[in-house]
Amino acid sequence: MNFSLVVDPNNVNITSSTSTDFISNSSSHLLPNQTSPQCAIPGHDWSNYTQTCTEHAPGLTEAARLRAIVLTVLAVLSLAGNLLTIASIRGSRLASRRRRRRRSWVAVYTLILHLAVADLLVTLFCIAGEAIWSYTVAWVAGDTACKLFKFAEMFSLYLSTFILVLIGLDRFLAVRYPMRSLSTAKRCTKLVAGAWLLSFLLSLPQLVIFRVSRGPFVEEFYQCVTYGFYTEPWQEQLYTGFSFVCMFMLPLLILVSTYVSTIITLSKTDKMEVTGKSDPTRHRLIHRAKMKSFRISVVIVTTFIVWWTPYYSMMIIFVFLNPDKHLSEELQKAIFFFGMSNSLVNPIIYGAFHLWRPGKKKKKGSQREGSSVNTRMSVHRNHRQEETSLVLIEDKLPCHTARGQFT
């Protein structure tokens, strides 16, 4: 959490800038009224200022206490949801090994597992860490911890976003190039490793930008801030704009394009099956796959837009405009809470569409449908177009499930 310490002769308050903590960090300077300190601080070279600090450091307020409680509740719910997701993945992996399922299904498990891990990191650093910081008000962990904490916040957000993009790419490749699905597991491992590495590299500036500085108060009051790093406004705007593009605009464009392409491909396949006079069962399965893909595509893209657009819009306002004239502190906090709750929503979305099992009766019926599909594959395996259509059924979006499991 970053703070702007606003000091005047008659009032001392603390304005939280949690809404831009992880990207812009623009209002994190220990400055009275956004200017230079007007009082001398022991141990600091404020040679241009002769006044002494007469104001007391801010303490825990009811608003900060409420913020800490809300963040704690979000952290507990998100932690439980993501841990349940990981446990479900482990059970599903064991089941897939016993049934000798395709490696593409293992690849899907891998992507969802890494998404849950990334959301756990978001929960620990961006939600639970901010809850603790709201309660302590000041930064009490030292300069090294300050740098590592800010690095971990940015890293977890990058990683969660990049894994989400990989899931979209994985679905698109499975539908667009179904005959290459056996290489999905190997390709998935490389892409996930790339996402971790890229998140690490893009988060490194946080280690340099942030530092612990003392505030202009009578008491010793320290915060983890960017004060003293940026020498010109354009430097902060450049870093913020770069982070905005990498963490929001590019992922959004990739998600929209991949899901639109996936729906178009499935629609063409559906028309091909109708004109080819295929049997009604196969056509029904492809139609189900298309509709399920359409639903999850809409949910994923809409969730990403709805949860993160207010967050990044406010970040742009903080960097390029005067936030005090555009957004109230209460609205800033609400948008911050809303954006961070995305790590709680992800387990619900992917659990509902990928991991939760249907009832036994439905499952048995699905297995019978899967057996019929398998029989048709053996009968028509010499016909390439027929085989491609059946692979689309087997690898139907949103996840490359075993035949018939989610029909």
The reported pLDDT for the residue numbered 203 is: 96
What's the whole-number mean pLDDT along residues 284-311? 73
Q: Could you give the domains of the chain?
A: 3-394 (1.20.1070.10)
Helices within 122-249 (DSSP H only): 129-136, 143-176, 184-203, 205-209, 233-244
**Residue 12 bridge partners (DSSP):** 7
The pLDDT confidence band at residue 111, using thresholds 50, 70 and 90, is: confident
pLDDT at 373 over 80: no
pLDDT tens sequence across 32-56: 333 334 454 444 444 444 455 667 8
* Residues 367 and 357: beta-carbon distance below 8 Å: no
Give the three-class secondary structure for 200. helix
